[in-house]
């Protein structure tokens, strides 16, 4: 069974006693921040999300310059934070889920002190995040298919990159899974959203039912 098939199986078979994650198309959380946060706190209680697993199939196209300053919008339980901090990058993340952050912090404490110093996570809404600096790269990986408004996420990413900064995006092109997935992100839609967010695609392509993109400011 492939990694993607395993992931789809996990997403389409919610664990028992879950209140917000459902197999039906109930997207009421998109219009209610309290419910949205409760859903992603619930996401962090799922057994699979208690482990921190770096996803090469999502990140294989991302090749940052050495010693880069990176921001991840929607950091989940921190696999990218830990991975890129180990490589010597300074990386910050933004995440709304208390339970996912708890898992990240548990695993981050196992890293050497120099790695720990290179990564931080901010709890809060991506849309409300106020960057303290400009970043060389902003990661928007496997996020646009989950959020209420992709434009707000892309506009925030644009605010966070420096003059020559790049945004790295990946998302499934088709809508699948449980109700945490609210849309697919085909390339034509992503191009449209980029334009409406003051961004342009430097590189964009679809591969294995996933869109990959590097974007910069127009």
Give the mean pLDDT of the chain. Answer: 94
pLDDT of residue 14: 53
pTM score: 0.92
pLDDT band for position 12 (50/70/90)?
Answer: very low
Q: What is the mean pLDDT of residues 109-125?
A: 98
pLDDT tens figures, 62-110: 999 999 999 999 999 999 999 999 999 999 999 999 999 999 999 999 9
User: How far apart, in whole angstroms, are the C-alpha atoms of residue 81 and residue 97?
Assistant: 15
pLDDT of residue 16: 60
pLDDT band for position 17 (50/70/90)?
Answer: confident
pLDDT of residue 83: 98
Statement: residue 3 has pLDDT above 60: no
Burial 1-36 (b: 16+ CB within 10 A, else e): eeeeeebbebbeebeeeeebbeeeeeeebbeeeeeb
pLDDT of residue 30: 96
């Amino acid at each position: 069974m492939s990694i993607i098939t395993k992931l789809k199986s996990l997403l389409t078979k919610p664990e028992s006693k879950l209140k917000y994650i459902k197999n039906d198309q109930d997207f009421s959380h998109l219009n209610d921040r309290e419910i949205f946060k409760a859903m992603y706190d619930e996401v962090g209680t799922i057994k699979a999300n208690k482990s921190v697993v770096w996803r090469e199939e999502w990140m294989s196209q991302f090749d940052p310059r050495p010693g880069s300053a990176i921001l991840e919008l929607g950091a989940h339980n921190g696999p990218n934070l830990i991975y890129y901090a180990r490589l010597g990058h300074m990386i910050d993340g933004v995440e709304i889920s208390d339970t996912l952050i708890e898992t990240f912090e548990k695993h981050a404490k196992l890293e050497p002190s120099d790695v720990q110093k290179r990564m931080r996570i901010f709890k809060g809404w991506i849309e409300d995040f106020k960057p303290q600096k400009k970043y060389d790269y902003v990661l928007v990986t496997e996020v646009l298919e989950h959020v209420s408004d992709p434009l707000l996420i892309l506009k925030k990413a644009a605010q966070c990159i420096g003059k020559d900064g790049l945004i790295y995006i990946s998302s499934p092109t088709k809508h699948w899974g449980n109700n945490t997935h609210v849309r697919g992100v085909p390339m034509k839609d992503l191009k449209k959203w980029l334009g409406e967010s003051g961004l342009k695609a430097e590189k964009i392509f679809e591969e294995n039912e996933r869109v990959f993109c590097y974007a910069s400011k127009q």
